[in-house]
Each structure stands twice: as C-alpha cells, then as structure tokens.
Amino acid sequence: MLESSGNRNIAQFLEERKERGLSTHCLDLMGSAIYPGASHYIDSAIGVRIKNIDGYLKSVAMIEHPSLSNDISSAFGHNNRRVIEGNVFSRSTVTLIKRTMGEMGVPGFDLITCRPDGPFRGHTVEKIPVDDENALAAYYAIQLRRYADLLNEDGVMLVQIPQREGLYSRLGGLRELFEDETFSREVFDSDYPGNSKVLLIKRLQTS
C-alpha cells in the first residue's frame, strides 16, 4: 500500500523513518495495533476497537503463523502499546485517543491504518441508513478528516475504502476535505480480499 512513497510495506516504511531519525508513532483504527515484523521500529502504538481481544488474536496468530511466534509475541508485548475500547465513529473515542496520546507523550501519529469495512456491511452508522450512499460518503469523509488531523507532518494514513456499489463515485467529500495545502491524497487498487481500493492520505510539511 505504500509503493507510491517508495516503501514496499509498513515495516519498511517504519524502518526507513527510524533510519532518518524520525518518530514512528502508530494508530490502528478498528484494529489492535499489531504490526508483526515492525515492532522494533515502533515508538508507540495505539489500537482502537469495540472490544480488546488480544488474548484471542494472539492465540489464533500463533496457531496460523507458528514460524512468526517471536514477531507475534514482540508485537503484542510492545511496552509502549495500548488498546482503547471504543467506536471509532464516536467523538468520545477521539477524545479518549487524545487523552491517551497525552499520557504516552505522543505529539501526533506518523502512521494511521484504518480498515472500516465492517460498519458498512449491514449496519447503520449513527442512524445513517446503510443504503444511503450519499450520506455514508459524506460521513465517511468527515470521520477520516477528524483522524487525519492527528497526523504529524509527513505522516500517512492508509484507509480501506469499503466495497460498496456507488460509494466510490460519491466520495467527492474526500477531495474537498483532503485536496488542500495540508494533505495530499491518492487512491490505489488493493489485493486485499473483499476490498478494491486503498486511500493514502499524507500530511504535508509546512516548512
């Protein structure tokens, strides 16, 4: 997902930042902030999901990927990693993230990952009907901008665009919210099952 910036994957992206003497603070929305193979490059990691299921995820990962047991243990045991229980579409969760950032000494994030496919599959988001593509696209764009504002300069956010009929053509709000002097925005095809697009948002340097 990071090919456009010369990075083959997240681990390499974080490694190259460390080599340049830059920070590597990570936020994983709708996830547990687990980046196997990259833990030793991470300054801090915050995961946000409805419920903390670390025990279950770790046991499954160990069974499915026994050869990566050391990386998995390192990822889950990172001494500067937190998991916040909350709905990423709730303002109270954003407030909790900011409070946790303060407690951890995180000024902003250098990498934000977000795979928000679940809430768009047969559910409603704050009383927005799932068949109202215009409303979903507008709401989606507003939420993404809220989190993008947590990026450090030169930080990037990788976002899964849910595979919804008609949603892509109605994401004009993304252009309006991100094509300014603060952010750049690119959309890529993805090989991830059930998902056809990845949005890369980068916070530009101002100096």
Does residue 90 register a pLDDT over 60? yes
- Find tokens 């994957």 and name the residue: 9
Looking at domain 3-203, its CATH architecture is 3-Layer(aba) Sandwich (3.40)
Phi, psi of 115 (to 5 degrees): -125, 80
Mean of per-residue pLDDT scores for the chain: 78
Q: What percent of the chain has pLDDT over 70?
A: 71
- Comparing 71 with 12, which gets the higher pLDDT? 12
Residue 96 to residue 90: CA distance in whole angstroms:
10
Mean predicted confidence (pLDDT) in 161-182: 64
Residue 123 to residue 115: CA distance in whole angstroms:
15
- Find tokens 């990259």 and name the residue: 38
- Cβ neighbors of 42 (< 8 A, separation 6 or more) are 14, 24, 25, 26, 35, 78, 80, 81
